[in-house]
């Protein structure tokens, strides 16, 4: 199901301007959210991040239109993955953006898979560096080719996803999510300055869930050498929620069986359900 121009659209195609800068230059941003029983998990955070990302790129976003698109699509499935895309719109030939942009907003809904929640991942470190000097590294832009190529290589090697280091050789993120490490009662994740997109689930864990569980939170540089002494590792995003990491290259972890990871998962599951006005069991559908 699609949404564009203020209405739902059956099927999988939309009229699209072949001069749109999102298509030609990747000049746009997007958001992926989970909907449960017709409501978006952490809706306000998703909308605020998309509006802020567009502002960083220098074009406006209408939060009311974004909200309408997300909500109307959420009603189409009991458990849905909602992708909302915003481009700068069409412009003159070349790199210089139009002086008066006409942004194009569209969105789609697909069935979300409950089987992804808390499903373990095996990560393969990639030689493609995350560029922490680029503002785009901290935005969910339409330019995902590095992640596509790294994912292809990881799959070919028998892994689920790639692990990115930044240009300084420090841990940045997984291909589609934020990266966390547990050392005792300390939860460590790379900061945005390391070339990291501040994910919505990441923010929920750092600001609310981890402190409520008595965990100390550290956003800091994470050298790969520290991973050898990690008790557990996990990845977060809005569709997997928490994914325990079973391996990074040849190093294995019992992250799914770690008590702190299980506590974080239980608390996040309740937070997602509460934000959607649903029972935790709704995430099993």
Q: Are 117 and 283 contacting, i.e. CB atoms less than 8 angstroms apart?
A: yes
Interval 53-71 mean pLDDT: 98
CATH 3.10.180.10 fits 121-284, yes or no: no
Give the N- to C-terminal CA distance of the chain in Å, as an integer. 19
Say yes or no to pLDDT of 285 above 60.
Answer: no
- Averaged pLDDT, 211-219: 98
The architecture CATH gives domain 2-112: 2-Layer Sandwich (3.30)
Q: Where in the chain is the domain with CATH 3.20.10.10?
A: 121-284
pLDDT for 111 equals 96
Average pLDDT rounded to a whole number, residues 13-31: 94
Residues of the chain with CATH 3.30.470.10: 2-112
Distance CA 135, CA 186 (A): 28
As a whole number, mean pLDDT of residues 235-251 equals 98
Give the tens place of pLDDT for each residue, 113-160: 999 999 999 999 999 999 999 999 999 999 999 999 999 999 999 999
| % the chain with pLDDT above 70 | 100
Query: Residue 165: what pLDDT?
Result: 98
Please give the structure tokens belonging to residue 41: 């998990």
3 state DSSP class of 46: helix
What's the mean pLDDT when you consider all of the chain? 96
pLDDT of residue 11: 83
| 61 contacts: CB under 8 Å, gap ≥ 6 | 50, 51, 54, 55, 86, 103, 105
CB atoms within 10 A of CB 172: 24
């Amino acid at each position: 199901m699609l949404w564009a121009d203020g209405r739902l659209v059956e099927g999988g195609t939309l009229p699209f301007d072949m001069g749109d800068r999102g298509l030609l230059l990747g000049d746009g941003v997007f958001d992926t959210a989970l909907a449960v029983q017709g409501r978006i998990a952490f809706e306000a955070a998703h909308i605020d991040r998309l509006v802020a990302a567009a502002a960083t790129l220098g074009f406006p976003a209408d939060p009311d239109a974004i909200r309408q698109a997300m909500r109307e699509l959420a009603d189409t499935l009991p458990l849905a993955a909602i992708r909302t895309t915003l481009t700068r719109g069409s412009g003159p030939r070349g790199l210089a953006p139009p002086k008066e942009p006409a942004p194009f907003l569209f969105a789609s809904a697909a069935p979300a898979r409950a089987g992804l929640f808390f499903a373990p991942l095996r990560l393969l470190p990639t030689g493609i560096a995350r560029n922490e000097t680029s503002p785009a590294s901290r935005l969910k832009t339409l330019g995902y080719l590095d992640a596509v190529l790294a994912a292809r290589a990881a799959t070919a090697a028998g892994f689920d996803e790639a692990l990115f280091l930044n240009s300084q050789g420090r841990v940045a993120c997984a291909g589609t999510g934020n990266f966390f490490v547990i050392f005792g009662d300390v939860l460590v994740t790379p900061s945005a300055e390391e070339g990291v997109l501040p994910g919505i689930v990441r923010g929920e864990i750092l600001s609310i869930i981890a402190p409520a569980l008595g965990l100390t939170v550290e956003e800091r540089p994470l050298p790969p050498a520290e991973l050898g002494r990690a008790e557990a590792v996990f990845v977060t995003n809005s569709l997997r929620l928490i994914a325990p990491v079973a391996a990074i290259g040849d190093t294995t972890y019992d992250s799914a069986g770690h008590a702190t990871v299980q506590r974080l998962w239980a608390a996040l599951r309740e937070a997602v359900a509460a934000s959607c006005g649903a029972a935790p069991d709704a995430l099993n559908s």
